[in-house]
Amino acid sequence: MSGFFNELRIVHEAPGRMRLRGAALSDEALNGVVMESWMESLAEVRGVRLNRPAGSLIVEYSGGATGRDKVVRRLRSFSLPDTSARGDHEEREAEWTPMVTAAMGLAVLPFLNQPARRLLTFLSVGSTLLKGLDTLVNRGIKVEVLDALAVGLATVRDEHYTANITHFLLALGEYLERRTERQSDRLLRRLLRPDPALAWVERDGEVIRIPGDEVRQGEIVVVGVGERVPVDGRVVEGAALVNQAAVTGEDVPVRKEAPRRVISGSVVVEGRIRFQATQVGEDTTSARIARFIQESLDKRPHTQRLAEELADKRVYFSLGTGAAVYALTRNLTRLESVFLVDYSCALKLGTPVAFKSGMYQAAANGVLMKGGDAIEQLAAVDTMVFDKTGTLTHSELIVTDVEVLTEGGCSATELLALVASVEEHANHPVAKAVVEAARERDLEHISHGEIDYLVAHGMNADVRGGHIVIGSRHYLEEHQGIAFTDFEPLIDRLQEEGKTLLYVGNRQGPVGLIALRDTVREEASATLRRLRRLGIERLIMITGDRRQKAQVLADELGLDEVHAEMPPEDKAEVIKGLQAAGRKVAFIGDGVNDGPALATAEVGVAMPRGADIARATADVVLLDDRLGAVADAREVASRTMKLIRANFNLAVGVNTALLGGAVTGALSPVASALLHNGATIGILLNALKGVRLESTDIH
């Protein structure tokens, strides 16, 4: 291998698993978290474990020999960042060392004499004492200071069991918090890992295939039928019909030719183009998403900040209570008991762990919450605004009407069979819908001659001694001279209903119309009813469709309000209007033009097939293509906030009772430490357990 991993060697290998060793894996400059995340961004990688002291790396993968080759190439392309960072192993060691030290001290304590017990206790609790001193000097009076006072007081009074038990429980709580946070962060990064498309690039006079994230700016990229556009660029040659549903939400493919712009994530369904790459490397959407996710994970939600502030204020309360008790009783034992009961641990530990557990539970149900703020805001939402295409409806088209325009001509069934027989040679969504409609009706194939077609416009062929022309109105009228002006009322009616029209003609003139529309998601009505049960007061739809069609769908789904014939740039203004009226708004969309609305709303929710920019802008990303995941997200958010409030009240109630026992002398220092820290761990474990959904849609 070359680069940083040129010294690595595979020491053991089994199907789907390899172990590598080398001095590079022990290098202090290697950041284990970065390296593991880099490897896990490859779809074939199932797990990565770095053992720095042993200088070994275990990679589990899928995909057989092909997957193995990709893993090896991924390792070869890894390099150290410009700024080295402390490795993941050191972080983990720093987390569990105090806990293990305290546990070992407790285990050997009964077998030691008094001087040895004193020395062992000082060595064991030293990290807690030093942390308290450092906090006092650099940050002022915080919970770490109270912890150090409690442990230090027990230590100087030779209460070794109390000191070590307290130190162990504090270390255990901190370890559980960090471990849970690290695992949930890794899961979330993995769920939204970049998945760059492969790209055919012209280099040195030949066309080679490389990962899409390795395309250079200015290079010529070639994309054919069925392939995904890997990077943004501008067409320089060729013509193609491009499906941008995953990018813009448009359910009808568009024609792309020079010098039009192509967007990464769209798919070529017909034709072939060469385009020049304009956005690559760190400017790619995948790179921006990765940075956005990491930034969002580092942010602390408002509720967590309030809990930490309250916890810090409670330190003064505990210190003041202890001072008052000692002033009145001169009893150091009571003072020690008071110091060993503080509100801060449960308040500080339980809240962030509950947020992380909520994020994990949401992810398990196909929902990515980008940080605790997303949970907090989604739980407070009272209004949800849905973009129609790709959200309340599927992007797939279905045939709704077959209209014969000539008297004495073929029947509607014969017209559908004829058009489907020709369209089966095309690969765009309209053609697929027509062919599927004919297949569902079990219609026979009609023989025809060679097909001549113009990409993104239409096609024609000889059939049954005549000639048939199929395509857009523009193609039939401008290119073939077949006018449909006599049928304007019918065309207007079908278009008023929001249907896409396929025009059919022959040498004599117009023959027929085939109308298509997108389909409402099967679970849409049930999901909207469930959202109302979960406290959503208003359900609103935004669409570019004509008002009549939009109102029909709104009535069908029981929506409270509909904004029809809406230009993409005006979506955000609708959100602002609702907010001005005092509403807390969530917007659900999936296209590039949804970005401003997603950013304006208190919570932006992006559908799984949405544009990369929509996923980057959104606070919540659905990983499963089901509308029910929106209701799952709302339920997880609401239950997580209820759990946080319940844990908060429990922490305050339990510790107030314990503080009362410590003040009156009813609790000894050992009992105070055990009950307080035991309650803290219980609250932490309750937060770790997280929430469970009572009702979900079928996945």
* Peptide bond before residue 259 is cis, with ω within 30 degrees of 0: yes
CA distance 26 to 15: 26
Nearest of 431, 425, 426, 430 to residue 447 by alpha carbon: 425
CA distance 584 to 16: 48
CA distance 405 to 308: 72
Residue tagged 């309000």 (tokens):
561
CA distance 125 to 139: 21
Residue 574 and residue 563 in contact, taking contact as beta carbons nearer than 8 Å? yes
Burial-class residue 314 by CB neighbours within 10 Å (0-12, 13-18, 19+).
buried
Q: What stretch of H or E contains 552?
A: helix 547-557
Task: Catalytic residue, from 185, 387, 612, 619: name it.
Answer: 387
**β-strand partners of 504:** 470, 512
Burial-class residue 465 by CB neighbours within 10 Å (0-12, 13-18, 19+).
exposed
For 193, phi then psi, to 5°, come to: -60, 150
**β-strand partners of 254:** 242
Please report, for residues 37, 96, 245, 255, 537, the alpha-carbon distance to residue 260 in angstroms, rounded to integers and kept in the order given: 36, 57, 17, 9, 43
Tokens of 595: 């970005």
Nearest of 392, 346, 437 to residue 559 by alpha carbon: 392
CA distance 553 to 389: 12
- Provide the b/e sequence for 29-61 (b: ≥16 CB within 10 Å): ebbbbebbbbbbbbebbbebebebeebbbebeb
Beta strands 198-203 and 206-211 are: antiparallel
Residue 546 and residue 509 in contact, taking contact as beta carbons nearer than 8 Å? no
CA distance 445 to 447: 6
CA atoms within 13 Å, Cβ hemisphere of 33:
15
Burial-class residue 511 by CB neighbours within 10 Å (0-12, 13-18, 19+).
buried
Residue tagged 């219980």 (tokens):
682
CA distance 548 to 577: 23
Burial-class residue 82 by CB neighbours within 10 Å (0-12, 13-18, 19+).
exposed
Residue 566 and residue 572 in contact, taking contact as beta carbons nearer than 8 Å? no
Tokens of 431: 């053609």
**Active-site annotation holds for 619:** no
DSSP letters for 635-684: HHHHHHHHHHHHHHHHHHHHHHHHHHHHHHT-S-HHHHHHHHHHHHHHHH
CA distance 253 to 428: 7
Positions marked catalytic: 387
